[in-house]
């Protein structure tokens, strides 16, 4: 094949490829719209002052009682007295601690004290739930 024929053949192939690309890029707008709809975000973040900011928020879970928090998170140390934890229901263990005041006990429970980490083993608990557990243990030691 002569060099001129080769060149013409290559130009013909290149032209066909270019034309097919143009035809491909000119898809129907319905297809493009459907694609945009399929890949659109499923949600939106709203900022204060935006129209969507007034949308109802997800309902918060009700707070757990002190007894529930104790049963789920505190009992493993405070029932047997592990690592010198005051035992639930033992007035002798709780009396010197309670003498420091309930606010001190709350502070120790929330921030951690001695071998107990902050919030004990209930890092997901709110401060109010941890305080309710402390009150439950202190009240349980007075009986």
Domain with 135 in it: 66-140
**Confidence class of residue 40 from pLDDT cuts 50, 70 and 90?**
confident
Categorize the per-residue pLDDT at 62 as very low, low, confident or very high, splitting at 50, 70 and 90: confident
| Domain total in the chain | 1
Tell me how far CA of residue 60 lies from CA of 56, 57, 64, 102, in angstroms.
Answer: 12, 9, 12, 27
pTM of the model: 0.59
- Look at residue 109 and tell me whether its pLDDT is greater than 70: yes
Using CA atoms, how far residue 68 sits from 61, 113, 117, 119, 143, in Å, is: 14, 22, 19, 14, 19
pLDDT for the residue numbered 77: 93
Helices (H), the chain: 3-25, 29-39, 66-69, 75-78, 91-98, 102-111, 127-140
90-103: pLDDT as tens digits:
999 999 999 999 99
Q: Which two tokens stand for residue 36?
A: 């945009």
- Report pLDDT for 104: 95
pLDDT at 128 over 80: yes
CATH number at residue 108: 1.10.760.10
Report if residue 33 sits inside a domain. no
Instruction: Read off φ and ψ for residue 116, nearest 5 degrees.
Output: -85, 130
SS3 content of the chain, % helix, strand, coil (to 5): 60, 0, 40
- 1-35 per-position pLDDT tens digit: 788 888 778 878 777 777 666 555 555 666 778 88
pLDDT of residue 45: 77
Residue 51 lies in a domain: no
Whether residue 8 lies inside any domain: the answer is no
Q: Can you tell me the distance from the alpha carbon of 96 to that of 126, in angstroms, rounded to the nearest whole number?
A: 26
124 found inside a domain: yes
Instruction: Report if residue 98 sits inside a domain.
Output: yes
**Summary mean pLDDT of the chain:** 84
Give the pLDDT band (50/70/90) at residue 56.
low
Higher pLDDT, 47 or 62: 62
Contacts of 70 (CB under 8 A, 6+ apart): 78, 88, 133, 136, 137
């Amino acid at each position: 094949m002569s060099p001129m024929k080769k060149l013409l053949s290559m130009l013909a192939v290149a032209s066909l490829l270019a034309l097919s690309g143009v035809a491909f890029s000119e898809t129907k707008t319905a297809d493009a719209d459907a694609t945009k709809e399929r890949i659109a975000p499923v949600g939106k973040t709203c900022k204060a002052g935006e129209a969507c900011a007034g949308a109802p928020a997800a309902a918060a879970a009700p707070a757990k009682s002190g007894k529930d928090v104790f049963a789920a998170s505190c009992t493993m140390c405070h029932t047997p007295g592990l690592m010198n934890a005051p035992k639930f229901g033992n007035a002798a263990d709780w009396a010197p601690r309670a003498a420091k005041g309930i606010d001190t006990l709350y502070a120790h429970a929330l921030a951690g004290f001695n071998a107990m980490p902050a919030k004990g083993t209930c890092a997901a608990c709110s401060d109010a739930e941890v305080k309710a557990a402390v009150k439950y243990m202190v009240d349980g030691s007075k009986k």
